């Protein structure tokens, strides 16, 4: 039994400025109208055996990726999550356990030589897994630093063999309101989708994540496979992906569909560009009383700034 007390680093409710704030108001209105669904869902427990890829962990760490701060404690990162499919609180561990992550089929389609489906374990075994220490910055102005295990998204792009007309990669989360109560809340544009340009997806930093802290990634962090793009705000790093589509037009993302004025397509981290409702100049480091200055591109400018040359007219920051 976890006793809930507020840790020193937790942001008091009065100061919290989460992505959900404006939605809470809408939900309140909907609740009043009796529209809330999903509250009476049967508890569905999925008996899951050992992860079929367990033997691949821990993967060898790639020492090229260094941190400027301590690694966040595993317990903290694992219990402070955003996964709206399972509710808007940070406490989704129990709820996310309902998601069955095996068997898990990933569909690769759109403008590719030949669309295909592949089981996630077969895909993971085809790919070169490595561990990387990355900083992570949520648009809500908290941050962490964790060891992810995964493979460069670039390798998956190569496997998919996109046609020349493909300009963007769209990644989509599973859709199953029976296990994910949040998906019964119809004012959200489910399923959760995110997108990158092919150039961004082919950047060395874009990591398809299958593990964290030297183990397969647990459900609340986006099992069995999620994206991590550490130079962008956290909402770009879509969880529990089951479909990857190569497309010609810029895909509309979940957060754009919800509130385009606050959450755009590019969403690169920039301390000088405030969110409409709060400053992005500094961040609350999980597990510490410290606020740190936020870095341009979350400190990854050297690797990614070139991607945005010639795009200065775009709204590159969230
Ligand atoms: N499918 C899905 N992916 C998601 C989210 C979500 O609600 N659903 N939240 C995003 C946000 S806002 C953040 S900050 C990160 C949080 O990742 P973590 O819980 O593993 O730290 O996941 C991102 N990916
Ligand atoms: Mo976030």
Domain-ending residue, one of 31, 50, 69: 50
Domain-ending residue, one of 50, 65, 92: 50
Same domain, 27 and 157: no
Q: How big is the chain by its Cα radius of gyration, in Å?
A: 19
Give the rounded distance of the alpha carbon of 77 from its chain centre: 13
Whether residue 315 lies inside any domain: the answer is: no
Same domain, 147 and 42: no
Whether residue 123 lies inside any domain: the answer is: yes
Global pTM?
Answer: 0.89
Whether residue 10 lies inside any domain: the answer is: no
Whether residue 89 lies inside any domain: the answer is: yes
| Closest ligand 1 atom, residue 191 Cα | 1
Same domain, 84 and 144: yes
Same domain, 159 and 264: yes
- Give residue 75's pLDDT: 98
Given ligand 1 and candidates 71, 73, 78, 83, which is best to mutate, with the most ligand atoms within 8 Å of its CB?
83
Average pLDDT score over residue span 95-115: 98
CB < 8 Å & 24+ apart, contacts of 111-116: 111/162, 111/163, 111/165, 111/166, 111/246, 111/247, 111/248, 112/160, 112/161, 112/162, 112/163, 112/166, 112/246, 113/161, 113/162, 113/163, 114/161
Whether residue 3 lies inside any domain: the answer is: no
Same domain, 65 and 45: no
Same domain, 187 and 46: no
Instruction: Quote the CA–CA distance of 48 and 148 in Å, as a whole number.
Output: 22
Same domain, 177 and 46: no
Q: For residue 232, give the nearest of 253, 214, 249 by alpha carbon.
A: 253
Whether residue 9 lies inside any domain: the answer is: no
- Give residue 31's pLDDT: 45
Q: Which residues line ligand 1 (CB under 6 A)?
A: 19, 81-85, 138, 173, 192, 221-222, 234-235, 237-240
- Give residue 159's pLDDT: 98
Sign of CA dihedral 198, 297, 81, 146: positive
Residues 114-147: pLDDT tens digits? Answer: 999 999 999 999 999 999 999 999 999 999 999 9
Same domain, 287 and 260: yes
- Give residue 290's pLDDT: 85
Residues 6-55: pLDDT tens digits? Answer: 555 555 444 445 676 655 555 544 444 444 444 444 434 444 578 999 99
Domain range spanning residue 40?
21-50
Same domain, 31 and 109: no
- Ligand 2 midpoint to CA 19 (Å): 7
Same domain, 213 and 258: yes
- Give residue 19's pLDDT: 74
Average pLDDT score over residue span 179-197: 97
| Closest ligand 1 atom, residue 220 Cα | 19
Q: What is the mean pLDDT of the chain?
A: 90
Same domain, 33 and 58: no
Domain-ending residue, one of 50, 67, 93: 50
Could you tell me the CATH number of the domain that includes residue 112? Answer: 3.90.420.10
Q: In sequence order, what are the residues at sequence separation of 6 or more whose Cβ sits closer than 8 angstroms to the Cβ of residue 308? A: 266, 268, 314, 316
> pLDDT over 90 for what percent of the chain?
84
Whether residue 26 lies inside any domain: the answer is: yes
Q: For residue 133, give the nearest of 141, 121, 144 by alpha carbon.
A: 144
Looking at the structure of the chain, the number of domains it has is 2
Whether residue 167 lies inside any domain: the answer is: yes
């Amino acid at each position: 039994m976890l006793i809930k007390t507020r840790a020193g680093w937790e942001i008091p409710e009065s100061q919290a400025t989460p992505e959900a704030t404006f939605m809470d108001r809408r939900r309140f209105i909907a609740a009043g109208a009796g529209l809330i669904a999903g509250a009476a869902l049967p508890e569905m427990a999925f008996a899951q055996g050992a992860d079929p890829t367990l033997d691949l962990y821990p993967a060898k760490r790639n020492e090229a990726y260094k941190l400027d701060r301590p690694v966040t404690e595993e317990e903290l990162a694992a219990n402070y999550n955003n996964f709206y499919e399972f509710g808007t609180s940070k406490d989704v561990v129990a709820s996310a356990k309902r998601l069955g992550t095996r068997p898990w089929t990933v569909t690769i389609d759109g403008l590719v030589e030949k669309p295909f489906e592949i089981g996630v374990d077969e895909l993971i075994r085809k790919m070169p897994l490595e561990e990387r220490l990355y900083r992570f910055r949520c648009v809500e102005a908290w941050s962490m630093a964790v060891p992810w295990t995964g493979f460069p998204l670039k390798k998956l792009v190569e496997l998919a063999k996109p046609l020349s007309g493909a300009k963007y990669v769209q990644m989509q989360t599973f859709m199953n309101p029976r296990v994910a109560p949040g998906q019964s809340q119809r004012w959200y544009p489910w399923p959760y989708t995110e997108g990158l340009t092919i150039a961004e997806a082919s950047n060395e930093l874009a990591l398809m994540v299958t593990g964290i802290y030297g183990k397969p990634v647990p459900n609340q962090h986006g099992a069995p496979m999620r994206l991590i793009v550490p130079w962008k705000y956290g909402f770009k790093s879509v969880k529990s992906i089951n479909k990857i589509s190569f497309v010609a037009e810029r895909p509309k993302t979940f957060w754009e569909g919800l509130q385009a004025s606050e959450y755009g397509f590019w969403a690169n981290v920039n301390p000088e560009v405030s969110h409409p409702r709060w400053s992005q100049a500094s961040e609350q480091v999980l597990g510490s009383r410290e606020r740190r200055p936020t870095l341009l591109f979350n400190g990854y400018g050297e690797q990614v700034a070139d991607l945005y040359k010639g795009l200065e007219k775009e709204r590159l920051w969230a």
